[in-house]
């Protein structure tokens, strides 16, 4: 159609004295120019479509890899806890069933009531190191940890270097050879992600395992809050019967909706709805995730632990692991860290299967 119209226009406008050969030449050249322009335009469109399809494929592959990475679980074979209720592990396994509030005390030299582990109420200073030594003695006495020390691949520690040194010295006195002078620091959920990756990278054999532990003793708290102290220990092994999924912070600065975060965590755990049971270590986190369906009203455990700053999410994970192991159902945990960042995560009862 365009070629015919072009020919008519050319014949109409071409002067009569112009040679006919040149007329027919232009009638052939101009269609070729049109065809070349259309071919170039089509080629550009095809290149754009190919680039768009390639980008979409790469994006889909990256998204799939991200979800595979996000869905990795951390299998945990043993959990130990110390807290204001002492070192009796039966208490912490039943904390979701019968959880009377702990009684705050005012130790000698203290200015406000505190929740303290009753291993030594006379000490005010260096309680972190005392807790670490007591945790190490509990670790040495635990029957599930007796013969597996040679397969220990790394130690992750949530606490300062002094408490870690006290912990490792006590293990050495009990016959455990020093693993290393350094440890994987566990300060927040980003460090926990690194522990997930390190375990799946370095613990290839069935008997390989990692030890994750930490202590905290809070000296003071704001307002009416009560300073607490606690310690935890996990044996991370492929023989674990319960497992952690990666936790996340609620990104308030990005205006993230709690319901969206809850849905993302449920997807990573393969759940169609919120976990059947949830626990919370503070009132703020309990209220923040209600709209996402994660209800922890029956299991608000702030009165049992007090303020634990950066160790609070790890204590929440430990309790969720114990609850998942006891009930055989997924258990969510809600907490906030020392920077008041709201954190959420889940433990499940089926290990690394």
pLDDT, tens only, 140-161: 998 888 788 999 999 999 999 9
Domain 71-348 CATH class label: alpha beta
In whole angstroms, what is the distance from residue 272 CA to residue 98 CA? 29
Specify the pLDDT at position 331: 96
* H or E stretch at 82: strand 74-82
Segments making up each domain of the chain, as ranges: 2-68, 71-348
In whole angstroms, what is the distance from residue 19 CA to residue 16 CA? 8
Specify the pLDDT at position 236: 96
Specify the pLDDT at position 9: 54
Per-residue pLDDT of the chain (353 residues; tens, 9 = 90+): 555 555 555 555 555 555 555 555 555 666 677 678 777 877 788 787 777 777 777 777 776 776 787 889 999 999 999 999 999 998 898 888 877 778 888 776 777 888 988 876 666 678 899 999 999 999 999 888 878 899 999 999 999 999 999 999 999 999 888 776 678 999 999 999 999 999 999 998 999 999 999 999 998 888 788 999 999 999 999 989 899 999 999 998 888 999 999 999 999 998 999 999 999 999 999 999 999 999 998 899 988 999 999 999 999 999 999 999 999 999 999 999 999 999 999 999 975 44
Specify the pLDDT at position 352: 47
Which of 214, 105, 113, 120 is CA-nearest to residue 158?
214
Angle at 71 between CA 156 and CA 338, to 5 degrees: 45
Distances (CA, A) of 302 to 79, 86, 204, 316, 332: 20, 16, 38, 11, 16
In whole angstroms, what is the distance from residue 109 CA to residue 92 CA? 29
Specify the pLDDT at position 333: 97
Specify the pLDDT at position 353: 46
Measured from the Cβ of residue 192, the count of other Cβ atoms closer than 10 Å reads 24
Residues 6+ positions from 136 with CB-CB distance below 8 Å: 166, 167, 168, 170, 171, 174
Specify the pLDDT at position 137: 94
Residue 152 gets the label, from left (phi > 0), alpha (psi -120 to 50) or beta, of beta
Q: Distance between alpha carbon 209 and the CA centroid of its chain, in Å? A: 19
Specify the pLDDT at position 46: 77
């Amino acid at each position: 159609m365009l070629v015919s119209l072009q020919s008519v226009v050319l014949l109409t406008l071409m002067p009569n004295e112009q040679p006919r050969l040149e007329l027919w030449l232009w009638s052939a050249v101009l269609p070729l120019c049109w065809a070349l322009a259309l071919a170039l335009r089509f080629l550009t469109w095809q290149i754009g479509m190919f680039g768009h399809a390639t980008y979409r494929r790469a994006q889909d592959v990256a998204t799939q890899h991200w979800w595979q990475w996000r869905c990795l679980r951390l299998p945990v074979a043993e959990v130990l806890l110390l807290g204001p209720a002492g070192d009796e592990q039966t208490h912490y396994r039943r904390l979701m069933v019968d959880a009377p509030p702990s009684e705050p005390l005012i130790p000698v030299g203290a200015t406000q009531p505190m929740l303290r582990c009753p291993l030594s109420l006379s000490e005010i200073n260096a309680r972190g190191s005392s807790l670490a030594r007591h945790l190490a003695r509990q670790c040495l006495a635990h029957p599930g940890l007796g013969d597996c020390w040679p397969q220990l691949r790394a130690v992750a520690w949530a606490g300062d270097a002094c408490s870690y040194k006290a912990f490792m010295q006590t293990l050495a006195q009990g016959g455990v050879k020093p693993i290393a002078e350094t440890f994987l620091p566990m300060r927040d959920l980003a460090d926990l992600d690194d522990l997930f990756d390190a375990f799946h990278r370095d613990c290839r054999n069935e008997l390989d395992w990692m030890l994750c532990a930490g202590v905290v003793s809070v000296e003071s708290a704001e307002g009416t809050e009560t300073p607490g102290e606690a310690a935890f220990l996990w044996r991370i092994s492929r023989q674990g019967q319960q497992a952690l999924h990666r936790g996340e912070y609620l990104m308030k600065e990005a205006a993230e909706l709690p319901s969206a975060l809850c849905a993302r965590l449920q997807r990573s755990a393969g759940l169609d709805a919120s976990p059947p049971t949830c626990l919370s270590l503070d009132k703020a986190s309990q209220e923040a995730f209600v709209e996402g369906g994660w209800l922890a009203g029956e299991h608000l455990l702030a009165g049992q632990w007090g303020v634990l700053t950066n160790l609070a999410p790890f204590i929440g994970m430990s309790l969720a692991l114990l609850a998942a192991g006891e009930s055989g159902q997924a258990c969510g945990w809600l907490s906030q860290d020392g920077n008041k960042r709201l954190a959420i995560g889940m433990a499940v009862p089926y290990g690394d299967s």
